[in-house]
Amino acid sequence: MTTEVTRSEERGRYELTVDGALAGVVEFRLRSGRIVFTHAEVGDAFEGRGLGSALAKGALTDAAARGETIVPACPFIARYLRRHDVPGAEVDWPKQ
């Protein structure tokens, strides 16, 4: 199984492909050096294989490498950040 996470600026999302098929997305909005993650989803056919975590890791690692401040508005992304270290990530937690 070959997985890849890529950023699609024009679609405002990171895309996870598995063997070339779109398996999941993380949607985002860019705001003055900040990337607001708004929604994450893995297709039903791909659930239960840890692909959501692979997608989150790829998206967050890329955003951190770009120097973007991460704003986890999506509950899945927030949960991932609470459980995993993302080297170089600067996180601005939304006010509850």
- Please state the rounded mean pLDDT for residues 29-40: 96
Model pLDDT for residues 9-20, shown as the tens digit of each residue? 999 999 999 999
Q: What is the mean pLDDT of residues 52-57?
A: 97
Mean pLDDT (the chain, rounded) = 96
34-42 sheet: strands from edge to edge: 3-8, 13-18, 21-31, 34-42, 69-72, 90-91
Query: What is the domain count for the chain?
Result: 1
Domain assignment present for 96 = no
Given this model, what pLDDT does residue 96 score?
A: 67
Query: Does 47 fall in a domain?
Result: yes
Query: Is residue 39 in some structural domain?
Result: yes
Range of the domain at 20: 3-91
Across 46-63, average pLDDT: 96
Of the candidates 57, 65, 21, 61, the residue with the CA atom closest to the CA atom of residue 40: 57
Q: Cα–Cα distances in Å, from 48 out to 44, 53, 75?
A: 9, 10, 18
Residue 66 CA neighbour count, 13 Å, CB half: 15
Which CATH number do you get for residue 72?
3.40.630.30
pLDDT for residue 1 = 85
Is position 11 within any domain? yes
Residues 3-7 have a mean pLDDT of 97
